[in-house]
Amino acid sequence: MYTATIEREIRIDAPIDVVWDVITNPKEIVKWFADEAEIDLRPGGTGFLKFVEAGHLAPLEVVTVEPPHKFSYRWNQKKGEQASDNNSMLVEFILSEDNGTTILHLVEGSLDAVAWSEDEKTEYFNDHTNGWTHFGDRLNAYILANKTSSAK
């Protein structure tokens, strides 16, 4: 059984501009998330995230770019299809500041709208719930180890 949305809140001890760069810049994304990344950072822009170990290439389409507070994209549509509400998931990174730290609210939703079987939805939900926990921890650790001393 799955729910329609995966959510995580991560407090990062770094300025919001640093976190924004690390989640939107392909040169930074490959250090904590995907093995390869390409993003045309504008609404309607396209790109991909490649995960070598999983043998997965995830095409994406940028939905929202509101520096440094919101970045979203749709991903995991079938190859050759344009991302839409019924064939892809929506990933949102929502950032806010709190006393010199950044709160990242991460949401992956739209699972209820995609035209997949219940088994596929359950498997996706379980995989991505675990994945966002893992990659959220990696994001935080990467920023703390590599970005905070020069940013403050």
Q: E-strand spans in 20-115?
A: 36-39, 46-51, 56-66, 70-75, 89-98, 101-109
Q: Nearest CA to 73 among 85, 64, 86, 82?
A: 64
> Is 112 inside any structural domain?
yes
What CATH number corresponds to the domain at position 58?
Answer: 3.30.530.20
How many domains does the chain contain in total? Answer: 1
Is residue 152 domain-resident?
Answer: no
How far apart are alpha carbons 7 and 94 in whole angstroms?
A: 11
Q: Which residues contact 15 (CB under 8 A, 6 or more apart)?
A: 97, 100, 102, 151, 152
- pTM for this one? 0.91
Q: Within a domain: residue 1?
A: no
d(CA 145, CA 130): 23
Q: What is the mean pLDDT of residues 5-25?
A: 97
Tens-place pLDDT, residues 42-98: 999 999 999 998 889 999 999 999 999 999 999 988 778 889 888 899 999 999 999
Which domain does 101 fall in, by range? 6-147
